[in-house]
Structure formats: C-alpha cells, structure tokens
C-alpha cells in the first residue's frame, strides 16, 4: 500500500498543499490565496491565522479530492517563506500581525546595527552584505523600539514555519535554515548570543533550534481534527522555501546550482564549505544538516512579468478567448529580436538584495525611443530578469569559485520555454527545467521529510529522484548582443545608484 507525505509550500500570497509519495511523485495539489496587508508605505504584514487556516483547509480538501485515507499519511511538513516575525505571548498567541520578508520598515535600525560595527562597509566585509530594513535582526530591533509593549510581552518570536509547527504540535521551534537568516552560527548550530546581545536584543526571546529533518512532534488532538488527519501523525520540521526548492530541483550535490523563478527569484548553490557571504549573497544553512547554502535572492522576477501583464495586457487578461495571458506573452516575445532594440529593463520593483544589496534602487526602462513597441518592452522585461541572473551567476563563479556551467530551473517561470531560452542565451549556460517545476518546493520538502523518516539514507540519494524534463542550450548567435547589453545593464546601476538614493531614501524613511 502506497504511503504519502502532506507537504505544504507556504508562499507570500499562495499556499499549496501537495500529496507526495516517497519517490517524489505528486498525486494531488490544492492551493488557496491569502492577502498581504500594506498598512504603511514600506510595510508588509499578514495574519498568522491565515497561514493556519489555509494549511488546514487545503489538507482536508486534498484528502477529499484524492480519497486518500489519513492512515496512509506518513507525516506533515512545511516549506515556508523566510524572514517572518510573529511575536508570541506567554500564553502562546500572536501579539500582532506577522511582519513578513517583504517588509522594509527597519532601515534606521539596520543602519544603527551596522554603525555598531564601526561602519556599513566594515559590516558588509565581515558579514558578506549590508543589512537593510528587510532583514530579521533590524526588524526585531524595530519591534523593541517602536512597539516596546509587544516586545516586552513577547515570550519568543516565531517565523511562518515555526508558527505552523507550533500550531500543529504545541512545540516552539525554528529550523536551522530559518534561523540562519537571523543569527545562527552555521558551524555550532546555535544562536550567536554575543551578537544578539551586542545589538540590543534578548537571546531568551529566540526560539529553540533544530534540523530540517527533525521530528518536531506529533499532531495534537485539536490540530488533527482541523487537518482531518490522525492524532499522532508525525510532523517533520521542513525548511525555508529556497533550501527546499534546491532539493526539489535535485541540486543537492557539492556545488550544484539552481535558479528559481516565482514572484521573487534566486540563484543558489549547495556546498560542504561554510563560507561567509559577500556581494549581497548570503551564506545560510541548507536543508541538508551537513551543508551550507549560498543564496542570492532577487526581490522580483516573475513579479516583473505579472506587472507588465497587469499594466500592458489588461484587455488580453480579461478576454475569455485568451485562457492564459502568460502563454500569449511567451508567443509575443518571439516576435522581437534578441536585445529588444537595445532597450534595457532593470527588474528592481521593490529594491534589491542580489546582485546589489540596495533598498532604494527601483525599476526603469532605459534607452526607450519611439521605435519601441509594447512587445519591445515585454521582451526587455524577460531579458532584464535574465541579466540580473547572469550578474549573480558571475559573482558566484568569480567570488566563491563555484563553476556553474549548468543550472537547474524551477518555479512557475520555468514552465515558459521562451523565457528559459532567453536565460540560457543571456547567461551562456545550459538550463535544465525539471518535471513539475512549480511543485519543486512541495516536492523538495517532502523529500526532506523522507530523509527525516529514514526512507532515504542521505540527501545525495535524492539526486536520482528528481528528473529533468527540458534542456535549453545557449544560442551562440545571440552571445555578442547579450554580452554588450549585459555590460550596459551593470553600468546603468552604478551610474544611477546615487540618483535612486536621492529620489527614494527620504520618501521611504519618512514612512517608517
């Protein structure tokens, strides 16, 4: 009799439940959306109860839709958005809405923390990147300074994954991948208490830590009823979305790299080394307890395509004869030659983390003229995200000495062949998209849980489980134009960096 894992991929606006067997095959999915609230400019919050409601409802629906018995469920596990902060009271209830990763309220606190280490430049040299208002420690310091009553009442904070683990088992916990985006010693697997105290925070308010493959506990009677599962069903910790996605991409060996194209995007590499981040690229913990994870996040990737669809293809989106506007956009991209008529788009709608750590930079169309059509702008958006990816890949190769001739591709964007070919051409790398690339997060965390359950002996054994569906080789005929425009793309940032700071710094900080 087949056995299954309930894997939840809890993103920024959509949560997906997947029924995954022990060989990584998806037998059913169920998704629900939930809102992001923007109470002030630069702020982004969500209700913790929305996270819990969506994972329990989608679990019940997937069991109903697949007619799978609860007794055939091996465990529940979670892949979640990272960098969330949910302050929990001594009675174990949230004290305020979750401050999520997209939130940029703590810019002043980030600057002050870096000045405690003499200067932002020195801090970046030590830590690998400057802090910004989106980072976890500055947000905790903001909570202490701007909402002191909540900070004082806070027994500990949890992130999104930790909150779901608590609601499922009654136990407070944070896995190593999530902890490493706050203040985890990668080698000792413990909180950096000296650093936490030095910047003015209380280490006692940080939750207990465990590995991604750990069994946190079992479903309580109350949680089991809400899930529609059996009391005592094991709950495996799981990990942050990016480390889970690496597993779902099959990028689990030394130096294996992958790219993710969802609302945000990233390039990541798994390694046995314990490197220090640099150039805006963070070194966090992998879902594999023995490895670290080089993680270069771009704030907006697929969001750029969503933006141009919303703003330039409104009529097509509303046309009942066009079931998928993104498929239409893929077709339209092919009408424009590579290089988009020397039009460059910078994909920094919400600021950027990598390849440049800059909260103030924004998107632009550069070199636009009367000869450019709507479709030129469209292709420029596809190419702009690809330039960003190439910049990150070159930093990883040059600064960290990881050659990346091949990259696995996952996420919703990996379903689009034209975009994959553009990325292969711009980066001059072989791109391999996996089966069900949009399910990589759920499949990845299910396989993490399978290692935790002892079904697989280690993460290396998972490489054979994930299959490649399509391969995109770079077209050498497009290399010259993309090399030229890529250099112009980088030059554009360096030329306009001070302009963006002047334009946006006061506006953003006034709203903090």
Is the confidence at residue 27, as pLDDT, over 80? yes
pLDDT in tens, 132-161: 888 999 999 999 999 999 999 999 999 999
| Global model pTM greater than 0.75 | yes
**Dihedral of CA 473/476/478/481: which sign?**
positive
Q: Which residue has the tokens 């606190």?
A: 109
Helix 136-146 to helix 107-116 angle (10° resolution) is 110
Q: What is the pLDDT of residues 299-340, one digit of tens each?
A: 899 999 999 999 999 999 999 999 999 999 999 999 999 999
Name the nearest CA neighbour of 69 among 279, 213, 228: 228
C-alpha 263/C-alpha 246 separation (Å) is 17
| Nearest-angstrom CA–CA distance, 102 and 315 | 29
Q: How would residue 130 be classed by pLDDT, with cut points 50, 70 and 90? A: confident
For the record, the structure tokens of 221 come out as 């009677």
> Checking phi first, is residue 8 left (phi over 0); if not, alpha (psi -120 to 50) or beta?
beta
The secondary structure of 166-204, three-state, reads HHHHCCCCEEHHHHCCCCEECCCCEECHHHHHHCCCCHH
pLDDT at res. 117: 81
Report, as an integer, the average pLDDT of 67-85.
Answer: 97
Exposure string (b/e) for 18-47, b if CB count within 10 Å is 16 or more? bbbbbebbbebbbeeebeeeeeeebbbbbb
Average pLDDT over residues 408-435: 96
Residue 511 clears pLDDT 60, i.e. is over it: no
User: In this structure, which long-range contacts are made by residues 271-278, counting pairs with CB atoms below 8 Å and at least 24 apart in sequence?
Assistant: 271/402, 274/186, 274/187, 275/400, 276/126, 276/127, 276/128, 277/127, 277/128, 277/129, 278/128, 278/129, 278/399, 278/400
Tell me which residue of 5, 11, 1 sits closest to 31, measured CA to CA. 11
CA angle 96, 102, 108 (to 5 degrees): 80
Query: Which bin fits 367, alpha (ψ -120 to 50), beta or left (φ > 0)?
Result: left
């Amino acid at each position: 009799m087949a056995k299954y894992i309930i894997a939840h991929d809890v993103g920024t606006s959509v949560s997906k439940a997947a029924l995954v067997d022990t060989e990584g095959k998806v037998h059913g999915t169920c998704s629900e959306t939930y809102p992001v609230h923007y109470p002030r400019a630069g702020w982004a919050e969500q209700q913790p109860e929305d996270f819990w409601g969506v994972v329990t409802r989608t679990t019940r629906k997937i069991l109903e839709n697949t007619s799978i018995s609860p007794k055939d469920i091996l465990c529940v596990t979670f892949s979640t958005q990272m960098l969330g902060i949910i302050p929990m009271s001594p009675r174990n209830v949230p004290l305020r809405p979750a401050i999520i990763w997209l939130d940029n309220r703590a810019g002043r606190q980030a600057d002050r923390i870096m000045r405690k280490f003499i200067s932002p430049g020195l801090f970046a040299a030590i830590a690998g990147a400057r802090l910004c208002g989106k980072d976890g420690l500055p947000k905790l310091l903001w909570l202490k300074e701007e909402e002191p009553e909540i900070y004082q009442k806070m027994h500990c904070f949890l992130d999104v994954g930790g909150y779901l683990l608590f609601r499922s088992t009654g136990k407070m916990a944070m896995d190593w991948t999530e902890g490493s985006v706050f203040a985890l010693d990668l080698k000792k697997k413990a909180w950096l208490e000296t650093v936490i105290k030095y910047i003015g925070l209380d280490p006692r308010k940080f939750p207990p830590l465990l590995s991604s493959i750990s069994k946190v506990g079992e479903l309580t009677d109350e949680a089991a009823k809400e899930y529609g599962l059996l009391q005592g069903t094991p709950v495996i910790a799981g990990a942050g979305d990016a480390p889970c996605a690496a597993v779902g991409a099959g990028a689990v060996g030394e130096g294996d790299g992958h790219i993710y194209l969802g609302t945000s995007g990233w390039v990541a590499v798994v390694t046995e080394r314990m490197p220090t981040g640099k150039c805006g690229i963070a070194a966090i913990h992998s879902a594999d307890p023995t490895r670290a994870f080089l993680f270069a996040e771009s704030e907006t990737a697929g969001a750029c395509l969503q933006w141009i669809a919303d703003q330039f293809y409104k009529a097509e989106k509303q046309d009942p004869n066009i079931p998928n506007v993104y498929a239409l956009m893929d077709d339209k991209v092919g009408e424009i030659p590579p290089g988009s008529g020397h039009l460059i788009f910078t994909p920094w709608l919400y600021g950027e983390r990598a390849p440049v750590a800059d909260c103030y930079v924004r998107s632009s169309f550069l070199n636009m003229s009367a000869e450019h059509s709507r479709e030129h702008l469209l292709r420029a958006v596809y190419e702009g995200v690809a330039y960003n990816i190439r910049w990150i890949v070159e930093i990883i190769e040059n600064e960290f000495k990881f050659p990346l001739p091949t990259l696995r591709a996952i996420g919703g964007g990996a379903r689009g062949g034209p975009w994959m070919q553009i990325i292969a051409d711009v980066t001059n790398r072989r791109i391999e998209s996996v089966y069900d690339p949009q399910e990589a997060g759920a499949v990845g965390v299910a396989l993490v849980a399978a290692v935790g359950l002892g079904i697989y002996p280690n993460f290396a054994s998972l490489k054979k489980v994930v299959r490649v569906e399509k391969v995109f080789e770079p077209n050498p005929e497009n290399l010259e134009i993309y090399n030229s425009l890529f250099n112009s793309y980088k030059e554009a940032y360096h030329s306009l960096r001070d302009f963006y700071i002047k334009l946006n710094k006061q506006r953003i900080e006034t709203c903090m």
